[in-house]
A and B are shown apart, each in its own frame.
Chain A
Amino acid sequence: MGKTLAEKIWEDHLVTSKAGEPDLLYIDLHLIHEVTSPQAFDGLRLANRKVRRPDQTIATEDHNVPTVDINMPIADPVSKLQVDTLRKNCQEFGIRLHSLGDIDQGIVHVVGPQLGLTQPGATIVCGDSHTSTHGAFGALAFGIGTSEVEHVLATQTLPLARPKTMAINVTGELKPGVTSKDIILAIIAKIGTGGGQGYILEYRGEAIKKLSMEARMTICNMSIEAGARAGLIAADEVTFGYLKSRPHAPQGADWDAAISYWKSLVTDADAKFDQEVTIDASSLEPFVTWGTNPGQGLPLNSNVPNPNDFANEEEKIAAQRALDYMGLTAGTPLKSIKIDTVFLGSCTNGRIEDLRSAAEILNGKKIAPSLRMLVVPGSVKVRQQAITEGLDKIFLNAGAEWREAGCSMCLGMNPDQLSVGERSASTSNRNFEGRQGKGGRTHLVSPLVAAATALKGTLSAPSDL
């Protein structure tokens, strides 16, 4: 019987495999940031161990760096301590680090692909659950805990049980104004936030084939929001085109060898998935979340649901709780919901295409006077590219704030936070209670919806303008 893409990558990385023991998997690339690495480095120090492969490890400062006044010392002492510790650790263990102010600094999941380090068929880990982003290149990429970070630093391997596989077939063609963010929000609403648990998801089908690399990253990024540790998309010409000529992409004969290997990394026609789900892209509308988990989403044209309409008791309770927290009343049209803050950024939608598509809508117009809009590029390179294209001017002229690169309001670890009761339309990935600041209310949206909402002041699609 044939093999799935996930199985092929898994098997190509087996160091040992024995019954009664977890498989020992080799890790090609280890990404590091300031929040989840300090104890791992300290563990190495205590045990007198080294980093086995500094040449397969890279660090960047992203989670709690400020997005204004970056040449000033970091004001928050805890953030400063974590950033300083990362710098010290990278120095001591010989790890490449991109610090605040460096041209390659940015969100770890934006930086890896941009440098060409994220490659098809690689195993990639990071102490961050959105490592699934890198799966868009046909890489097996997943988030790990701090003890595992230490394990990978010391051994470049991880003992793991093999997950099951799930195919997500996305058929048909997207309508204009509908994006890959809407695809993934619709998938999560369909299979639920636990639907992918224990699985590696493989997104396939014509709608996926037609997406750009950046749009594919948005989908894989949110695999974790469906409960899956990893999601992937087979590499194809789009992937190769994106990679070619990136700084760390293979060159010359190595490139040819790589391509011929990468082309073999597709699910065989007779392979069997443990589960399959199909979704029709042509039926999708712009999506928005109304609740406090990413599975609580609906097409923008709908009304806030009534908890009593949920058949399942648990969902009913969750919906009621979400409405209370979000300050929403059942039956309210989603499009009438007033927004205080629009956040364009994060590892989900903080890449150049995301900024371009939002800028196109904002071009020559002004955002609603009642709201603020934060534009936070995913990396310094994205920021510079945007400036080259004049997008910064469009955002600034529209009345938005144009910030430095980082995670920013995606998780509010730095000062970019919502206040109690403040409502955001956010292109990030998590709408949990308090995620963007204590008491803050988050609606997850695509960059197009974010931009249209910024202009109208209420949740809107570009077609409403």
Chain B
Amino acid sequence: MEKFNSHTGTAVPLRRSNVDTDQIIPAVYLKRVTKSGFEDGLFAAWRNDPEFVLNQKQYTGATILVAGSDFGTGSSREHAVWALQNYGFKVVLSSRFADIFRGNSLKQGLLTVILPQIEIEKIWEQIEKEPTTKITVDLNQQKVSYQSGAANNEISFEIDSYTKWRLLEGLDDIGLTLQKESQISNFEGKRPVFKPKTLPIKS
């Protein structure tokens, strides 16, 4: 997992609430054998519509998704997070996320930030008016900031200190375990020789 310190990018307004994981990625897209390539399935049901916000030219290359409330409800599929990441999103802003989705996303390094609904609405207005607006999400400072006209807006957000530390350090569960690499090696050094070995092949 990559370290997450601060991210600056343009944003897409997704003015819908209760977007569940079946809408993020429908079940028919789950047959793949990879964790990559799910971008095609992202919001698949809506992508045919040329008016859908992701299809609008001015939002090409956006890395921040600004979603309505209760984002990520429904099935626990990890694919929903992979799809958003594969598409290029680094951050999702919403006033409320489903628990499992948020847990999955923070494990995989997709930063999900909770902001008050009123702030989400203001960001929507700003990025609809000026799609090139850059938004900075600073995890270290726990702040989201952007310019609107002459005004500099800064909004703080909450995140638990353990998750923040893991994201700042870029540690997924495997990364955390690998910090104990020397203990694992030590343990291996003391294993009895009679323990099962699959190689070389005997049959």
List residues of chain A with CB under 8 Å of any chain B CB: 15-16, 24, 26, 28-29, 38-39, 42-43, 46-47, 49, 54-58, 78, 81-82, 85, 96, 103-104, 115-119, 122, 147, 150-151, 154-157, 159, 247-248, 250, 254-255, 257-258, 261
Taking CB as reference atom, which chain A residue is nearest B35? A42
Contact B177 A55 (CB under 8 A): no
Evaluate contact between B196 and A96: CB separation under 8 angstroms: no
Q: What per-residue 1/0 map shows which CB atoms of B170-203 lie under 8 Å from chain A?
A: 0011100110100110011001111111110111
- Give me the 8 closest cross-chain CB pairs, A-B, nearest first: A38-B33, A247-B202, A250-B194, A258-B194, A55-B199, A254-B194, A58-B198, A42-B34
Q: Is the CB–CB distance between A56 and B197 below 8 Å?
A: yes
CA–CA, A96 and B196, complex, Å: 14
Chain A's closest residue to B177 (CB) is A155
Which single residue of chain B is at the shortest CB-CB distance from A150? B174
**Which residues on A sit within 8 Å (CB–CB) of B173?**
147, 151, 159
Checking B184, B192, B203 against A156 with a beta-carbon cut-off of 8 angstroms, the contacting residue is: B184
Q: CB within 8 Å of A: which residues of B?
A: 1, 31, 33-36, 78, 172-174, 177-178, 180, 183-184, 187-188, 191-199, 201-203
Q: How far is the CB of A69 from chain B (nearest CB, A)?
A: 24
Q: Could you tell me if A15 and B36 are in contact, using CB atoms closer than 8 angstroms?
A: no
Chain A residue nearest to B172 in the complex (CB) = A47
Query: In the complex the two chains form, what is the Cα distance from A26 to B183 in whole Å?
Result: 11
The answer to whether B196 touches A82 (Cβ under 8 A) is: no
Query: Are B33 and A81 touching (Cβ within 8 A)?
Result: yes
Chain A to chain B contacts (Cβ below 8 Å), 16 pairs: A15-B180, A24-B183, A26-B191, A42-B33, A46-B36, A55-B198, A56-B197, A58-B198, A96-B199, A96-B201, A247-B202, A248-B196, A248-B197, A254-B194, A255-B194, A257-B194
B104's nearest neighbour on chain A, judged by CB, is A147
- Bound CA–CA A115/B202 (angstroms): 8
Task: Check B196–A15 contact: CB distance below 8 A.
Answer: no
Contact among B34, B183, B196, B201 with A119 in the assembled complex (CB-CB below 8 Å): B196
Q: Is A159 within 8 A of B177, CB to CB?
A: yes
Cα A117 to Cα B34 with chains together (Å): 29
- How many Å lie between the Cα of A118 and that of B197 in the bound state? 10
Give the interface centre of B180, B193, B199 by most chain A CB atoms within 10 Å: B199
User: When A and B form their complex, what is the total count of cross-chain residue pairs whose Cβ atoms lie within 8 Å?
Assistant: 102
- CA of A104 to CA of B201 in the docked complex: distance in angstroms? 11
Q: A42-B36, A54-B199, A248-B197 are in contact. Are A157 and B177 (CB under 8 A)?
A: yes
Q: How far is the CB of A192 from chain B (nearest CB, A)?
A: 25
B199: chain A residues within 8 A (beta carbon): 54-55, 96
Measured CA separation A399–B172 after assembly (Å)? 55
Greatest chain A CB density within 10 A among B35, B197, B201 is at B35
What is the minimal beta-carbon distance from A44 to any residue of chain B, in angstroms? 9
- Neighbouring A residues of B191 by C-beta, 8 Å: 26
Residues of the B chain whose Cβ atoms lie less than 8 Å from the Cβ of A258: 192, 194
Q: A82-B33, A85-B33, A119-B195 are in contact. List 19 more A-B contacts (CB 8 A).
A: A16-B180, A24-B180, A29-B198, A38-B33, A55-B198, A55-B199, A103-B203, A104-B203, A117-B198, A119-B194, A150-B174, A151-B177, A155-B184, A156-B188, A247-B203, A248-B196, A254-B194, A257-B192, A258-B194
Chain A minimum-CB-distance residue to B82: A39
B1 CB to closest chain A CB, in angstroms?
A: 7
In the assembly, what is the distance between CA of A28 and CA of B192, in Å? 11
Q: How far is the CA of A154 from the CA of B191 in the complex (A)?
A: 19
Which of chain B's residues has its CB closest to A112's CB?
A: B196
Alpha-carbon separation in the docked complex, A248 to B194 (Å)? 10
Measured CB to CB, the closest approach of chain A to B87, in angstroms, equals 15
A115 to B169, CA, bound (A): 42
Give chain A residues whose Cβ lies under 8 Å from the Cβ of B35.
Answer: 39, 42-43, 46
- Is there an interface contact between A15 and B202, defined as CB atoms closer than 8 Å? no
Q: Which of A54, A96, A147 has the most CB of B within 10 A?
A: A147
Q: How far is the CA of A259 from the CA of B33 in the complex (A)?
A: 42
Would B36 and A155 count as touching, CB distance under 8 A? no
Bound CA–CA A314/B97 (angstroms): 33
Cβ contacts under 8 Å, A42 to chain B: 33-36
**In the complex, what's the smallest C-beta–C-beta distance from A261 to chain B, in angstroms?**
7
Which residue of chain B has the shortest Cβ distance to A29 in the bound complex?
Answer: B196
